[in-house]
């Protein structure tokens, strides 16, 4: 399957705060918030929604095409992604700026405060699905430059490309009109539970409205509670996806991106929704157990063995083993 992954390409600066953010927030002072946290650890990692998704997909045996913009400092990152099995031929380097950067501080309860420097990501609007040489079987529109996120769904519909709409943290930046346009006609909508409520408020659509507007599935991730997939006729079939218990909890950055990787792998294998969701759940746990969104590693055989130990044998284990 020819899979195109669009979204931010970035470096992640991950910091740990050895306490609880909420202990430093005064509810009666929220109208004038001024906080500073002394962190005891910082690491720089390869990141960005699109490479995060692409990396875990490559671990699962796919060769996704990464479509995005990066800066003058992307050379080593590009070489590393190619070594991992990610096709970076559709990445445009903008030499006069730096690659986007994500700064996030995580407290001991895994709450996060983040900032994002746009950098080269602002040029993603200059890319187009019309310029891709090979036909596309599936695309994902993940968080990116707002103008690019407005453009890509329209291009996918015009070209007949099924797309997953993943607005995530850009829900607050994208116009309500653009958000609604991305939802209506998407094959799949995927957001977390907080983002889902925010999305409904922004676009003025109910649960039923959204399920009727999306062609195949509405997926809401629930953190430690797993996920819910609404699929079937009218997207009225509710499928509960359990979370996979991690061996250790290190950092939540990129966990949602890995869930999307597992889900997409299931779609590429033609698996039923419950199996697609379980693949996403396990892929997400691998990231939660490491520091950074692209430091985990496994072979397909190792992934299958762990999947089997949690969920038993099903269509996913057979299909993954056959594809390895």
Q: What is the tens place of the pLDDT at every residue in 43-84?
A: 899 999 999 999 999 999 999 999 999 999 999 999 999 999
Residue 259 resides in a domain:
yes
Please give the residue range of the domain that contains residue 145.
3-20+39-318
Residue 301 resides in a domain:
yes
Q: Which residues contact 33 (CB under 8 A, 6 or more apart)?
A: 25
324 compared with 134, residue with greater pLDDT: 134
Q: What is the pLDDT of residue 84?
A: 97
Q: Which residues contact 43 (CB under 8 A, 6 or more apart)?
A: 13, 14, 291, 292
CATH number assigned to the domain comprising residue 259? 3.40.1190.20
Residue 323 resides in a domain:
no
What is the domain count for the chain? 1
Rounded to an integer, what distance in angstroms lies between the CA atom of residue 165 and that of residue 19? 35
Query: Rounded to two decimals, what is the model's pTM?
Result: 0.91
Rounded to an integer, what distance in angstroms lies between the CA atom of residue 10 and that of residue 17? 22
Question: Is residue 22 predicted with pLDDT exceeding 90?
Answer: no
Q: Which residues contact 314 (CB under 8 A, 6 or more apart)?
A: 275, 278
Q: Is the dihedral of CA 299, 304, 305, 309 positive or negative?
A: positive
Residue 29 resides in a domain:
no
What is Dmax (Cα atoms) for the chain?
58
Residue 33 resides in a domain:
no
- Tens-digit pLDDT profile for residues 276-304: 999 999 999 999 999 889 999 999 999 99
Rounded to an integer, what distance in angstroms lies between the CA atom of residue 128 and that of residue 152? 7
Q: What is the pLDDT of residue 82?
A: 98
Residue 291 resides in a domain:
yes
Catalytically active residues, by annotation: 257
Q: What's the rounded mean pLDDT across residues 98-109?
A: 92
pLDDT band at 32 (very low <50, low <70, confident <90, very high): confident
Rounded to an integer, what distance in angstroms lies between the CA atom of residue 152 and that of residue 178? 11
Question: Is residue 28 predicted with pLDDT exceeding 80?
Answer: no
pLDDT band at 156 (very low <50, low <70, confident <90, very high): very high
Rounded to an integer, what distance in angstroms lies between the CA atom of residue 45 and that of residue 259? 19
Q: Please, are residues 52 and 294 in contact by the beta-carbon 8 Å criterion?
A: yes
Question: In 267-277, which positions are buried (b, 16+ CB within 10 angstroms) versus exposed (e)?
Answer: bbbebebbbbb
Residue 223 resides in a domain:
yes
Q: What's the rounded mean pLDDT across residues 227-236?
A: 94
Residue 28 resides in a domain:
no
């Amino acid at each position: 399957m020819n899979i195109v992954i669009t979204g931010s390409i970035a470096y992640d600066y991950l910091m740990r705060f050895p306490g609880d953010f909420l202990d430093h927030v005064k509810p009666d002072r929220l109208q004038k918030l001024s906080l500073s946290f002394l962190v005891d650890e910082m690491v720089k990692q390869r990141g960005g929604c699109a490479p995060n998704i692409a990396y875990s997909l490559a671990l699962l045996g796919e060769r996704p095409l990464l479509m995005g913009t990066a800066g003058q400092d992307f050379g080593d990152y590009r070489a590393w992604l190619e070594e991992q099995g990610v096709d970076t031929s559709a990445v445009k380097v903008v030499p006069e700026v730096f690659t986007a950067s994500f700064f996030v501080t995580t407290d001991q309860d895994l709450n996060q405060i983040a900032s994002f420097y746009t950098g080269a990501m602002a040029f993603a609007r200059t890319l187009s699905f019309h310029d891709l040489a090979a036909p596309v079987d599936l695309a994902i529109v993940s968080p990116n430059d707002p103008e690019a996120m407005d453009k890509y769904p329209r291009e996918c519909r015009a070209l007949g490309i099924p797309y997953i709409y993943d607005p995530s943290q850009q829900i607050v930046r994208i116009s309500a009109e653009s958000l609604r346009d991305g939802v209506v006609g998407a094959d799949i909508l995927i957001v977390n539970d907080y983002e889902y409520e925010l999305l409904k408020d922004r676009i003025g659509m109910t649960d039923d409205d959204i399920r009727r507007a999306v062609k195949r599935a509405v997926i809401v991730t629930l953190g430690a509670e797993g996920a819910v997939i609404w699929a079937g006729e009218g997207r009225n079939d509710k499928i509960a996806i359990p979370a996979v218990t991690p061996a250790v909890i290190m950092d939540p950055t990129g966990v949602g991106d890995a869930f999307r990787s597992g889900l997409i792998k299931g779609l590429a294998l033609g698996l039923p929704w419950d199996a697609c969701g379980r693949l996403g759940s396990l892929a997400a746990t691998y990231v939660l157990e490491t520091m950074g969104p692209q430091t985990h590693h496994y072979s397909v055989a190792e992934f299958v063995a762990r999947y089997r130990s949690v969920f038993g044998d099903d269509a996913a284990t057979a299909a993954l083993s056959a594809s390895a």
